[in-house]
Amino acid sequence: MKPGQRRLMFFAGAAGLVAFYLWGLLGLPGFGNYPGPYGPAILRVAVAQTQATGVVSAVNFEYRGFDTVGEEFILFTAAAGTAIVLRMLRGEGERSPVDEARDRDAPPTSNAVRTIALLFTGPVVVVGWWLASHAQTNPSGGFQGGVVLATAFILIYLAGAFLTFSKLSPTDVTDAVEAAGAGGFAAVGLAALFTGLPYLYNYLPLGQIPGAVSSSGTIALISFFVGLEVAAAFLLIVSELLEQTLLIRHGGR
Amino acid sequence: MQVFPFIVVAWIIGVGLYGIATSRNLIHQIVCLIVVQSSTYVLLLGVGYVTGAVAPYFYDVPVHTPAVDPVVQALALTDVVVEAAVTALLLAIAIQAHKRFGTLDPHELAEFKG
């Protein structure tokens, strides 16, 4: 198909989309007048029921906890899928990890990048753990904290040390941490079944002070496990992609 | 009725889809898909917005302060995770396509079979 035809088809389709979108828009409650039953209902009871002041975390790890198990396993599956798609193919071999560009020499990592990356590594780890352990308090949680934690390792790579990066995050350990994170979440839910409670029931003591780090029972615990899972999954995905550019040579072409 | 946020949503979907339809590079197409998906964040947060309300966090405001809908915000979080997963897989597949066929142009790739 020629680019012109392609564009024409796109605009024909887009016209239909716009028509249906406008039609749908007419049925929406106006911006700022949200009347939905679920949000207000949860806002009325969430803090009293869970002792968590972060109601979004309470929704994610308590009211919609079962969905979040699935969500976490989506990421788990994606990490596994990336590893499978990027497995070493026939005729590919590893070589020493050197940055390179096709038509010029890759410049060496500058001291400025190296210094800043290493300076940030420590604080980033602290912020990551802080986020992963404060889901019940404020707009943080395992997902956000996990991504920030993974960033710490990527900073080490940016500092110009792929070997240090792969030494600090060996695939075996990262795999184990990812499994522990994903399995931990599921296990927290399963533990409720053994005492005759529903799956993912919040059976831990909720604490007295809403929003305290020790409050909210399983919400805080699940957030911790999610943090482990997300950090490990992102590290696996990033190191798979890095290995492609750094270690694996094009096969026999 | 205040519709401006929903027009922004439509615009973001539109530019993203246009990019996917006309792009000549797989990586660029993946970025366009991320743009399309980011429209859903605006839509979700726009649907749940309540005029004059605070964010659904009650650490330093009284518990029954009017707040925006926490359910759509939680859904937006799910949305971000799914996007990250989809992007990772698509990038991996793009790498393999480039290795096998030596091109990232979807028009040229369409001519290859298998």
Q: How far apart are the first and last CA of chain A?
A: 30
User: Model ipTM?
Assistant: 0.83
The CATH number that domain B4-109 falls under is 1.10.287.3510
> Does residue B113 register a pLDDT over 80?
no
pTM: 0.85
pLDDT digits over B15-60, tens only? 999 999 888 899 999 999 999 999 999 999 888 888 888 888 888 8
Between CA B102 and CA A24 the distance in angstroms is 43
User: Which residue from A57, A4, A150, A88 is spatially nearest to B58, judged by alpha carbons?
Assistant: A57
Which residues of B fall within a CB distance of 8 Å from A235?
none
Domain locations along chain A: 52-246
- Phi/psi for B94 (5° steps) reads -65, -40
pLDDT digits over A110-159, tens only? 888 888 988 999 999 999 999 998 888 888 888 999 999 999 988 888 88
Which residues of A fall within a CB distance of 8 Å from B50?
32-34
pLDDT of residue B39: 93
Q: Decide if A252 contacts A91 (C-beta within 8 A).
A: yes
Cβ pairs A/B, distance under 8 A:
153
User: Which residue from A119, A118, A116, A100 is spatially nearest to A108, judged by alpha carbons?
Assistant: A100
Tell me which residues of chain B, numbers 3 to 32, contact chain A at a CB-CB cutoff of 8 Å: 3-6, 10, 13-14, 17-18, 21-22
**Spans of chain A, pLDDT less than 70:** 1, 91, 93-106, 161-163, 247-253
Substitution target in A20, A49, A59, A235 with the highest count of B β-carbons within 10 Å is A59
Tell me which residues of chain B, numbers 60 to 89, contact chain A at a CB-CB cutoff of 8 Å: 63-64, 67-74, 77-78, 80-82, 84-86, 88-89
The closest CB to that of B3, out of A25, A72, A230, belongs to A25
Between CA B114 and CA B110 the distance in angstroms is 10
